[in-house]
Structure 1
Amino acid sequence: MAYEMTAGSPAKLGAQVDDGGVNFAVFSAHATGIDLCLFSPDGRRETARLPLPERTGDIWHGHLAGLSPGALYGYRAHGPYAPEHGHRFNANKLLMDPYTREIHGSWTNHPATLGYNAAAADADMSFDSRDSAAYVPKSRVSDPALFASITQQLDHKWEDTLIYEAHVKGLTQMHPDVGEALRGTYEGVASDAVIAHLHRLGVTAVELLPVHSFVNDGFLLEKNLVNYWGYNTIGFFAPELRYFGPEAILGFRKMVQRFHAAGIEVILDVVYNHTAEGDHRGPTLCYRGLDNASYYRLLSGQARYYVNDTGTGNTVNLTNPYVLRMVMDSLRFWVESMGVDGFRFDLATTLGREDHGFDPRGGFFDALRQDPVLAGIKLIAEPWDIGPGGYRLGQFTPEFAEWNDAYRDTVRRFWKGDAHSAQELGARLLGSAGEFDRGGRRAWSSVNFLAAHDGFTLADITRYAKRHNEANKENNQDGHNANHSDNFGVEGPSDDAKINAARKRRQRNMLATLFLSQGTPMLLAGDEIGNSQQGNNNAYCQDNEIAWLDWSDADADMAAFVAALSAFRKQHPALRQSRFLHSGLRPADGLPDVEWTGFDGHPLNWRDPGLSSLCLTLRCSAEAPVQSDSDDTVFIIFNRGEEPARVRLPDAPQGRHWRIGVDTSEGAAAGTPVMADHITVDGPAIVALVIGAAS
């Protein structure tokens, strides 16, 4: 077939369908020419190779008359192959369109995808002339109707948010109440069974592990493993194919719409810090072949090599305006066309690293904060990477919440019994003000969690003293060493009823700590049902029963306990305040918004090196306007001791009394009144009490 290629327009990047055909536009500052390659419907045969006829600035473009949605294509970029200068052009390698919304096929781990001859003595300095088209996915021209704008329906207040972190496949692959055709798919995540479970837990936002198109790392495939988590992105606009269900790409949009109808927001874990192309030894799939020196940060004076602040081989260069534009266009696409409500930015420190170092007001963050499309959506930073000065907890701008690993470690250490951890726990219970209370930030800025995808599950924190990652085939050298876990004397599962009871109580204590803390709670999917990963604390390559949730062994009592904790938190605004609490006196009643006491009712001695238990009284912030529920008071007892402890209660208002709200020892039912001036806490436990109605 003869095609008519005309100049077209550089205005919009990607493949844009119009009445007469398709406009193609792609960025490359250093290419000498770019070919558009068309393929047969099965993607196996290249049917045409057409040079893009125009270059406007750094945008190469052309319009192809008569082409329709569904056409498969890719690019070949001409230019210097000079790795020592940062250029790795090789027109023998078919390249994906960075802006493609749909991908056809998958990547095959074949030497032809490398821009160099791996067997050559000079390795990546050599040049490989094999055609890679048979081994790489093709881009697809999308029908604009597939991506009609979705009006964002939800905007839950941060202080009312409960996040549930989940993997699309792992959540439903073994769920007996999800139809087999929907298990492991976008549709399955938003199935009736899952939504009912989330409603019971009081979840307001689902945070999904990466769903941008990604590829399996070659080194994993060589070990018969795969990239399960998905932190290996190749396409920032295309939903990952492996989670497609009966409705393919529409399944993602319908998932979002079903969640919205259920009152649940959708947050995506996004990876804009690196790509799947890896270091100088990696494949040429897209960005490397289009313009390596623009898309990636290269070492100064050694442009053959990549800056590796991410630990994955390369670092995306967000200081380049067109690379920054790509990321911003991607974010807007997922909000406007796919309907998502927020993003969790993987290794967010990398995104803010300028030439002079990390800058929370650097180019990417400035662009993000001023964008009207992205205003008001939820933004979450993972505030660290492995680069210089990479740990930046509490240093992002007020628009962001941040994963608080210090909270995770402190709660684990406290209940494990580590020295001096009680003092640190006090700070974490109040939203980690030392890290976050600056620049107008709010207490919800701290995303509190006990466990996340990366590390032990909550059940495994109480079952294993050491990691057991042998299945990863890295000699058990991968994953965290500092897990702050406790096996209660037996490594792994136990038949001892006393040990199992102690483990479950520890889990309840940690969960209660989470739901009674100021900040934004995040629950790892499966922790509410006692899910284990068999001691694997780095299941990134385990697409199997190790990482999938085992619903057949679900702990129904634990799920009911979590649901009760969530309901209790929702009922009491004192537990989910947006302002930090500093023991300020409230003008309305002269009472402090925070009081710390010992079990004897006297002020707490924070200097006690043996401090292991404490009491916390919470009232609504002294700085907040008076509200109808501002007299809400919660008294929380944290007892780490093994023996029962007598605790003096604060005086209740005249004619009223305290009643049990939470008791992790399961000794007293919620709502039980306490008519005495004290209460006995049975062993290691948390008891939360609230003021009951007038007698």
Structure 2
Amino acid sequence: MREFKAKLGYFMKGATVFETGVNFSIFSKNAFRVTLEIFEKASDDEPIYIYDLNPSFNKIGDTWYVFIEGVKEGDYYTWRVDGPYKPKEGHIFDYNLHLLDPYAKAITPAYFKESFKKCLIVNSSKFLNLEEDIRPCRDFKDTIIYEMHIKLFTMNKNSLVIERGTYLGILEKIDYLKELGITAVELLPVFSYEPDDLDRKNPLTGENLRDVWGYNPIGFFSPSSNYITNLCENTVTCNQLAEFRTLVAELHKAGIEIILDVVFNHTGEGNEKGPIVSFKGLDNSIYYILEKDNKEKYCNYSGTGNTLNVSHPVVKELILDSLRYWYGVMNVDGFRFDLAAILGRDADGNWIGDLSLLKDISNDPILSKAKLIAEGWDAAGGYFLGEFPYGWAEWNGKFRDTVRKFIRGDKGQVWDLAIRIAGSPDLFGKSGREPYSSINFVTAHDGFTMWDLVSYNEKHNLENGENNLDGENNNNSWNCGIEGMTQDINIIRLRKRQVKNFIVILMISQGVPMILMGDEMAKTQYGNNNAYCQDNENNWLDWSRLEKFSDIFYFYKKMIEFRKNYNCLKRNKYFENKDSNGNGLKDISWHGVNLNQPDWSYDSHSLAFLIDGLDENNLKGEHIYVALNSYHEKLRFEIPYIPGQRWYVVVDTYNEEKSFSEEDILLDKNYYDVQGRSSIILISK
């Protein structure tokens, strides 16, 4: 029979393991009764020990704490909290509920549906291993991001991965990632969440839909157990921590950084009809922003039912502690913040930018070297692209939209395209930030894949069970003449060319390029531009397409390699439109079909430019000339003359067999006929 003894304890957050027992601490300002329950197994309904905390000596300020001798790592615990039940004032305490600790390092998986969820006691310090796991510490300007989902990447049988759909399954594809040439993976959320909380079926198949993306977290410290191997009660110890930590270390050994997509703007507890799992039951009015006139309802800046009250000191501290844990203990390299505009709002919803949690994060002494990436908008109409504090990079939605429109053939895009190619100084230069503050992307998990972008004019989301009302309507896509799948070889050729045109612009633009998982093998979601609930073969990466679209993969790989080889494509400073090194060339010069005559008119469909290879870091002396033609007919471009050097063709996306040439193909004339809807890259030697 195990024996337990309660002592005064300490007010350190969460559950902290010591040699003789475990210290527990929880915040609740409005509670008047707090109880800790200890369980021996994940499936147990009856605790092996219960302790009612005494507010006279188990509480300091609004923090409740106790040290329990006899409790050990591997045990489980929950909290029960009682307080006023006054929904109109925002209080919904219910002592009957078992609540999760916001600081829990591991949470029982969805496997144990016959019992309530519990927190697992973990000594996370043993996962530090900093001497064995050294971060690559790559400069941001040299980064090439690959946005991916743990499960969707390897779940398909044709991935030939043994541990499919898991943290460890990624290890079997590290050589593939290295061959592609990316330098960082950006993982869709890995915080604990419930994939089966969706109460909706696929109307076409009748199958239950699952929240596979994971954007509804229930804990900010616990890695999801949905991606661990051999899930069963006997293995539920700290596998999710161990296997995630192994993934980080092995990626680092391969020179690949790991960026986490983190969700701090809302939680999986949803609106007033949602479950009470943790924050609602601990202190609802503190953790969430409630409507002023009706505190029974939640402000919904996130579009998912609730909004975390990130301006409250306790919530701020929770988020900072979470980030420090993942960066300092789990050893990840950075974070991408979902709907980060919410983190820049005050409790009344006003944008306060430099005065907000965003500034606290970028100024934090622990997080000062982490890569911080923001999604600069939210679901309440907030669009603050370019307004984030110094130290932040941002998803550049304007880059995405302008490049899509230009490649589609829209008018009025050329001037803005030039600004985006130059690193968007209009957005980021005004606050003193660098070109690499711009995370350039054409596609991301939200929206069409790149192949679907050139294959569909309209979204096809009926299988999501929302009558095709979900997902973005304005995709700036073009199906190249036929909606969806086709065997028409001419349509397929055009689609491939359009994809390559996207890749060219993405890889020659100043800033940090981001690639969506599977775009390099023409992944399709069959027109679904919001596949968050599709946990099936239509959404799992189909590795058979790697052979079918080997030319797309090769082009991606070679363009990534090309970018790495030229520092002038990865500048620390914006172009100044002048000859800064005395070689007779401006750092960048803009052209049209005629030299020094760019066509900025509304009807223009083309742009050319020359980048001086003798930039601040590069002494190779190879200059880069790019011509982009989104017109449907051929255009003849004059090629600049550089004394003592000749031009060689590297890329011509119209050349189906050799879109990217590894040979020195000499250009023996002073012009180049760029075919309709195609791009070229020349280098000088």
TM-score interval (norm. to shorter): over 0.9
**Which residue number corresponds to residue 652 of structure 1?**
642
Q: Deviations over 1:574-610 (max 9, x none)?
A: 212121113123142242111111112242132x221
Instruction: Say if 1:635 and 1:676 are closer, same or farther in 2 by CA, change over 3 A.
Output: same
The question of whether the paired residues in 2 share the 8 Å contact of 1:660 and 1:689 is answered with yes
Q: Deviations over 1:403-447 (max 9, x none)?
A: 111111111111111111222211111111111112220111111
**Which of the numbers 152, 164, 168 marks the counterpart of 1:183?**
164
**Which of the numbers 90, 104, 113 marks the counterpart of 1:100?**
104
The question of whether the paired residues in 2 share the 8 Å contact of 1:573 and 1:632 is answered with no
**Which residue number corresponds to residue 115 of structure 1?**
none
2:388 aligns to what SS in structure 1? coil
The question of whether the paired residues in 2 share the 8 Å contact of 1:641 and 1:684 is answered with yes
Instruction: Say if 1:481 and 1:68 are closer, same or farther in 2 by CA, change over 3 A.
Output: same
2:51 aligns to what SS in structure 1? strand
Instruction: Say if 1:564 and 1:431 are closer, same or farther in 2 by CA, change over 3 A.
Output: same
2:394 aligns to what SS in structure 1? strand
Q: Deviations over 1:268-301 (max 9, x none)?
A: 0000010001111111100000000111111223
- Deviation for aligned residue 1:200: 1.7
The question of whether the paired residues in 2 share the 8 Å contact of 1:345 and 1:382 is answered with yes
Q: What pairs with 1:45-444 in structure 2 (closer than 5 Å)?
A: 45-47=45-47, 48-53=49-54, 54-106=58-110, 135-144=115-124, 146-150=126-130, 152-174=134-156, 176=158, 178-180=160-162, 182-191=163-172, 194-216=173-195, 218-220=197-199, 224-245=208-229, 248-355=240-347, 357-387=350-380, 390-444=382-436
Alpha-carbon separation, structure 2, partners of 1:586 and 1:398: 26
**Which of the numbers 472, 481, 484 marks the counterpart of 1:492?**
484
**Which of the numbers 656, 680, 684 marks the counterpart of 1:687?**
680
- Deviation for aligned residue 1:175: 5.7
TM-score in terms of structure 2 length: 0.93
Alpha-carbon separation, structure 2, partners of 1:426 and 1:148: 45
Alpha-carbon separation, structure 1, partners of 2:464 and 2:405: 27
Instruction: Say if 1:412 and 1:264 are closer, same or farther in 2 by CA, change over 3 A.
Output: same
Alpha-carbon separation, structure 1, partners of 2:599 and 2:107: 61
Instruction: Say if 1:221 and 1:684 are closer, same or farther in 2 by CA, change over 3 A.
Output: closer
Alpha-carbon separation, structure 1, partners of 2:24 and 2:680: 63
For 1:564, give the aligned amino acid.
K
The question of whether the paired residues in 1 share the 8 Å contact of 2:193 and 2:224 is answered with yes
2:151 aligns to what SS in structure 1? helix
Q: Deviations over 1:34-70 (max 9, x none)?
A: 1001223143222232112311111101111111111
2:648 aligns to what SS in structure 1? strand
Alpha-carbon separation, structure 2, partners of 1:308 and 1:199: 41
**Which of the numbers 572, 577, 588 marks the counterpart of 1:578?**
572
User: Comparing 683-692 with 659-668, which one deviates more in the overlay?
Assistant: 659-668
Q: Deviations over 1:318-356 (max 9, x none)?
A: 222121111111111111211100000000000110146
2:215 aligns to what SS in structure 1? coil
Instruction: Say if 1:400 and 1:521 are closer, same or farther in 2 by CA, change over 3 A.
Output: same
2:430 aligns to what SS in structure 1? coil
**Which residue number corresponds to residue 604 of structure 1?**
598
For 2:679, give the aligned amino acid.
I
Over 4 Å off, 4+ runs: none
Work out the percentage of aligned pairs sharing the same amino acid. 38
Q: What pairs with 1:514-533 in structure 2 (closer than 5 Å)?
A: 514-533=506-525
Instruction: Say if 1:248 and 1:370 are closer, same or farther in 2 by CA, change over 3 A.
Output: closer
2:552 aligns to what SS in structure 1? helix
User: Comparing 157-166 with 630-639, which one deviates more in the overlay?
Assistant: 630-639
1:560 aligns to what SS in structure 2? helix
User: Comparing 345-354 with 134-143, which one deviates more in the overlay?
Assistant: 134-143
For 1:166, give the aligned amino acid.
M
Structure 1 gaps of 5+ residues are: 110-133
1:504 corresponds to 2:528: no
Alpha-carbon separation, structure 2, partners of 1:145 and 1:585: 54
User: Comparing 378-387 with 676-685, which one deviates more in the overlay?
Assistant: 676-685
Structure 2 gaps of 5+ residues are: 203-207, 231-238
**Which residue number corresponds to residue 586 of structure 2?**
592
- Deviation for aligned residue 1:499: 0.8
Alpha-carbon separation, structure 1, partners of 2:620 and 2:62: 58
- Deviation for aligned residue 1:551: 0.5
1:102 aligns to what SS in structure 2? coil
1:234 aligns to what SS in structure 2? coil
Alpha-carbon separation, structure 2, partners of 1:91 and 1:204: 49
Alpha-carbon separation, structure 2, partners of 1:145 and 1:412: 46
The question of whether the paired residues in 1 share the 8 Å contact of 2:45 and 2:115 is answered with no
- Deviation for aligned residue 1:178: 4.1
Instruction: Say if 1:312 and 1:177 are closer, same or farther in 2 by CA, change over 3 A.
Output: closer
The question of whether the paired residues in 1 share the 8 Å contact of 2:358 and 2:388 is answered with no
1:343 aligns to what SS in structure 2? strand
Alpha-carbon separation, structure 1, partners of 2:148 and 2:109: 26
**Which residue number corresponds to residue 20 of structure 1?**
20
Instruction: Say if 1:175 and 1:397 are closer, same or farther in 2 by CA, change over 3 A.
Output: farther
The question of whether the paired residues in 2 share the 8 Å contact of 1:644 and 1:683 is answered with yes
The question of whether the paired residues in 2 share the 8 Å contact of 1:573 and 1:629 is answered with no
Report how many residues are paired: 658
1:358 aligns to what SS in structure 2? coil
Instruction: Say if 1:478 and 1:628 are closer, same or farther in 2 by CA, change over 3 A.
Output: closer
Alpha-carbon separation, structure 1, partners of 2:374 and 2:319: 16
Instruction: Say if 1:657 and 1:105 are closer, same or farther in 2 by CA, change over 3 A.
Output: closer
Alpha-carbon separation, structure 2, partners of 1:613 and 1:408: 18
The question of whether the paired residues in 1 share the 8 Å contact of 2:568 and 2:618 is answered with no
**Which residue number corresponds to residue 119 of structure 1?**
none
**Which residue number corresponds to residue 655 of structure 2?**
666
The question of whether the paired residues in 1 share the 8 Å contact of 2:154 and 2:161 is answered with no
Alpha-carbon separation, structure 2, partners of 1:646 and 1:503: 23
Alpha-carbon separation, structure 2, partners of 1:595 and 1:514: 19
Alpha-carbon separation, structure 2, partners of 1:673 and 1:161: 31
The question of whether the paired residues in 1 share the 8 Å contact of 2:136 and 2:252 is answered with yes
Alpha-carbon separation, structure 2, partners of 1:569 and 1:375: 27
For 1:183, give the aligned amino acid.
R
2:284 aligns to what SS in structure 1? helix
Q: Deviations over 1:250-271 (max 9, x none)?
A: 1111100010000000000000
Q: Deviations over 1:655-674 (max 9, x none)?
A: x2011122211276342111
**Which residue number corresponds to residue 236 of structure 2?**
none
TM-score in terms of structure 1 length: 0.91
RMSD: 1.9
**Which residue number corresponds to residue 640 of structure 1?**
630
**Which residue number corresponds to residue 118 of structure 1?**
none
